[in-house]
Structure 1
Amino acid sequence: MSIELIIILLTIGYIIFTIDKKKDDFPVPAILVVLGVGLAFIPYFDSARLTENTIYHVFLPALLFVSAYQFPIKDFRKSASIIVSLATVGIVLNVLILGYLISIISPIGLLEASIAAAILTPTDPVSVVSIIKKATGNEEIASIVEGESMLNDGTSIVLFTTLLSMATREKGFSFFSFSGEFLLVSIGGVLIGLAAGFLVSKIVHYSHDRNYQIMLSIILAYGSFLIAEAVGVSGVLATVASGMMISYEYGRAEKEDHFRKSLDGFWEIAEHSLLAILFLVIGIEMTEYLKLDYWLYAAIIFVFMIFVRFITIYGITKVVHSLSWRYNFLLSWAGLKGSMSVFLVLTLFAKSASGIQSEWIVGVSFTVILLSLTIQSLTIAPISRSLLK
């Protein structure tokens, strides 16, 4: 993309975020995606394209870092059992059940359907978290939604990669092999992130200028990600762990407040700027795949997706920490699809694997993502108020 195009996209994002003054019921990402779909019909925006590498290596580290850094550690401790269970066991169950249901109503086999399910499983609540807080005042539910979304990306990538390798016959499936790889990738990523975050929290004291401290946080966000990816573990979880570690270290003493204020100011601007560009381009990117042939499949799969997420959450919370059906339904409805799902779709498209009906999966997945971003985000406020007030 040219610098001129980036500035135009940022300007559009600025206008939308400015309209959203009270941050109550206005789902900015959904509005941006719909605007992006409209911009796709203007020839000037033809060059506004995303690749899977751009999303994964440019957008995700920054967005994950700021979410993790701003996520209260006390909230994670309070709901850790639910968050971790939903982000691991919950993701696996979602993929298995949703994949089976997709295979029943679609022209693709069970393995391909499971790949589609893996694409549509990671959550990306973005502004929905703030809407839930404003609409209900319930911090616990908002924290669970946000915490799960930070951690389930790593699980989704491992599942997607494993299923795609099986479908292309690069390797067969072994439960023990999958479990071992998952644990290695996950734990390795977390350890690298914790170590990097702890190291930076000590080094930052040698940088008395706040501008240099912000530079160091950028190095941490992307450096932890790249180091983890280089050694073959989860860069996503490394970035999340580094953000949470530095937040924890800064929260241990009041003298660290000036560090946090400096970082808050920069990362909030960076987050909004990246979100504006990302969701506008997602709308532009998906438009050519929104064919009429896919809409019925997408509508049915969207319903399946909500249903499967609800029964999975209901089952897990019954075992881990019992919640009312109202809480379970709100958690289910708040599980929007977004940047990680788009990354996985583009990864599948880029590989163009033989023997896989990639075009059908890509088209239907993009349509489901659009339905999720618009329907769920536009209705989350009234549903939150009616269920919890």
Structure 2
Amino acid sequence: MLPVERIAFLLLIVCLTAMAARRLRLPYTIGLIAAGTALSLTGLLAGVALTKELIFSALLPPLIFEAAFYIPWTELRADSKPILLLATLGVLLATGLTAAGMHFLAGWEWQAATVFGTLIAATDPVSVIATFKEAGVHGRLRLLVEAESLFNDGTAAVLFGVVLAWASSGQVSVAHIGLDLLREVGGGCGMGLLVGFFVLWIAGHTDDHLVEIALTVVAAYGSFLLAQHFHCSGVLATLCCGLLLGNRGSLGSITDAGHEAVGSFWEFAAFLVNSVIFLLIGASEKDLLRELVHYGVPLLIATGIVTLGRGVAVYPLCALFARSPLAISLAHQHILFWGGLRGALALALVLGLPESLPRRAELIAVTFGVVAFSVIVQGLTVTPLLKRLKLH
């Protein structure tokens, strides 16, 4: 628990960082990482660490819910084929290439290489959505990038559970994998819809916008935690719940005043949670600096192979739609490739690895390094790339 005065001070730092980043025309996320690193040197973040529990239980649910809440169902359905293909087969391709690269080039055992491939393969909605909001990207491009990042998080989280079980025990049956997938995907989506319909039913009995805001908070956290409790995908649960409330709530279950209030609340909540995540990433990078230097060679290999893996996941799959009405322009493909940032989900998964897993310390250091490269280097250059491609 943080003292109130420390929380107030950190909020002040967040506000000043946002103002400075806007004035310097830098991505807000980059400013927060720098601020987090600086604050960690002063000791003001002592006792506050980025952990799997913090990311999964407190920070990830509101960000997934807020993003899903504003995705129009009609547009999502129209582009569902390329989005789902990128979020499933794309993740598998990136995972396979990354695992092979780390095994043959970095000399990692297959278990460690495959675990790393699964946790780093998916693009992260936290980083992607924050960057695209700052860049002012709208329309189909934003839908493709944001929706894919949300869905491929679910794929990666489910795949990670299967791979980690294999890496820990050395054997997993096909039947076991099938049951795990059914439970994670079907159970997660089912529980998300269940919570969503329950919240809509309650919201239909009130016209108090404050109650409606509170109900959306219950939905965001309730769907995630309920699914996690039953060992289902919390990411998919909150995603489905957010999609349902955002699209069905506008049909009358949530009042017009409630929709406006809910929008303002979740905009602030996303800003606050994003700020906490990137401040703590900055602080963590400072603490891991020695490990990053020590594991410099595998980090360089991982950065290159992860970037290549993203390219393999994007360009060949998009080419499948080249002659169809769902064709994705080459400019949009470049942004899907370079704007596929990594972030909080990869960190949450790697921080939750069991102590007995081989190369755990190396996996953590390399993952943090790849995330830092993604957020800083790609985050700094994606807006200039948008302008060069005349998409912004």
The verdict on a shared fold, with TM-score over 0.5 as the criterion, is yes
Query: Contact 1:295/1:367 (CA < 8 Å) preserved in 2?
Result: no
Q: Where does 1:23-34 land on structure 2 (aligned, <5 Å)?
A: 26-34=26-34
- 1:127 partnered with 2:126: no
Q: Number of paired residues?
A: 381
TM (normalized to structure 1)? 0.91
- 1:292 partnered with 2:293: yes
Query: Contact 2:50/2:281 (CA < 8 Å) preserved in 1?
Result: yes
Q: Select the residue among 379, 383, 386 that pairs with 2:385.
A: 383
In the TM superposition, residue 253 of structure 1 has moved relative to its aligned partner by 5.3
Amino acid aligned to 1:121: A
- 1:280 partnered with 2:264: no
Q: Show CA shifts across 1:18-53 (max 9, x none).
A: 34559x963212221222122222223222212211
Q: Secondary structure in 2 aligned to 1:46?
A: coil
In the TM superposition, residue 99 of structure 1 has moved relative to its aligned partner by 0.8
Query: Contact 2:208/2:258 (CA < 8 Å) preserved in 1?
Result: no
Query: Contact 2:201/2:253 (CA < 8 Å) preserved in 1?
Result: no
Q: 1:254 to 1:232 in 2, by over 3 A?
A: closer
CA distance in 2, matches of 1:83, 1:133: 21
Q: 1:255 to 1:193 in 2, by over 3 A?
A: closer
Q: Where does 1:244-283 land on structure 2 (aligned, <5 Å)?
A: 244-252=243-251, 256-283=255-282
In the TM superposition, residue 382 of structure 1 has moved relative to its aligned partner by 1.0
Amino acid aligned to 1:380: V
In the TM superposition, residue 316 of structure 1 has moved relative to its aligned partner by 1.7
Q: Secondary structure in 1 aligned to 2:232?
A: coil
Q: Show CA shifts across 1:308-364 (max 9, x none).
A: 11121122222354434332221011111111011012112xx2124x111111111
Could you tell me which residue of structure 2 aligns to residue 115 of structure 1? Answer: 115
CA distance in 2, matches of 1:292, 1:21: 31
In the TM superposition, residue 300 of structure 1 has moved relative to its aligned partner by 3.0
Q: Select the residue among 331, 334, 340 that pairs with 2:339.
A: 334
Q: Select the residue among 349, 373, 391 that pairs with 1:344.
A: 349
Could you tell me which residue of structure 2 aligns to residue 204 of structure 1? Answer: 203
Q: 1:37 to 1:294 in 2, by over 3 A?
A: farther
Could you tell me which residue of structure 2 aligns to residue 243 of structure 1? Answer: 242
CA distance in 1, matches of 2:179, 2:286: 39
Q: 1:94 to 1:180 in 2, by over 3 A?
A: farther
Runs of 5+ consecutive residues of structure 2 not aligned to the other structure: none
Could you tell me which residue of structure 1 aligns to residue 50 of structure 2? Answer: 50
Could you tell me which residue of structure 1 aligns to residue 8 of structure 2? Answer: 7
Q: Which stretch shifts more, 248-257 or 36-45?
A: 248-257
Q: Secondary structure in 2 aligned to 1:55?
A: helix
Amino acid aligned to 2:345: M
CA distance in 2, matches of 1:296, 1:37: 23
Q: Secondary structure in 2 aligned to 1:97?
A: helix
CA distance in 2, matches of 1:43, 1:381: 33
- 1:99 partnered with 2:99: yes
Could you tell me which residue of structure 2 aligns to residue 366 of structure 1? Answer: 368
In the TM superposition, residue 254 of structure 1 has moved relative to its aligned partner by 11
In the TM superposition, residue 176 of structure 1 has moved relative to its aligned partner by 4.7
In the TM superposition, residue 131 of structure 1 has moved relative to its aligned partner by 4.3
Amino acid aligned to 1:334: G
Could you tell me which residue of structure 2 aligns to residue 301 of structure 1? Answer: 302
CA distance in 2, matches of 1:93, 1:179: 19
CA distance in 1, matches of 2:219, 2:95: 32
Query: Contact 2:67/2:129 (CA < 8 Å) preserved in 1?
Result: no
- 1:139 partnered with 2:142: no
Runs of 5+ consecutive residues of structure 1 not aligned to the other structure: none
In the TM superposition, residue 267 of structure 1 has moved relative to its aligned partner by 1.1
CA distance in 2, matches of 1:177, 1:313: 30
In the TM superposition, residue 116 of structure 1 has moved relative to its aligned partner by 1.2
CA distance in 1, matches of 2:174, 2:313: 21
Q: Which stretch shifts more, 192-201 or 218-227?
A: 192-201
CA distance in 2, matches of 1:151, 1:225: 15
Q: Which stretch shifts more, 12-21 or 331-340?
A: 12-21
CA distance in 2, matches of 1:313, 1:179: 26
Query: Contact 1:9/1:276 (CA < 8 Å) preserved in 2?
Result: no
CA distance in 1, matches of 2:375, 2:197: 36
Could you tell me which residue of structure 1 aligns to residue 72 of structure 2? Answer: 72
Query: Contact 1:225/1:239 (CA < 8 Å) preserved in 2?
Result: yes
In the TM superposition, residue 289 of structure 1 has moved relative to its aligned partner by 1.8
Q: Show CA shifts across 1:182-226 (max 9, x none).
A: 233112211221222122123112222211111111111111112
Percent sequence identity is: 27
In the TM superposition, residue 173 of structure 1 has moved relative to its aligned partner by 3.1
CA distance in 1, matches of 2:122, 2:29: 16
Could you tell me which residue of structure 1 aligns to residue 38 of structure 2? Answer: 38
CA distance in 2, matches of 1:159, 1:287: 30
CA distance in 2, matches of 1:28, 1:233: 33
CA distance in 1, matches of 2:26, 2:208: 37
CA distance in 2, matches of 1:331, 1:119: 19
CA distance in 2, matches of 1:257, 1:123: 34
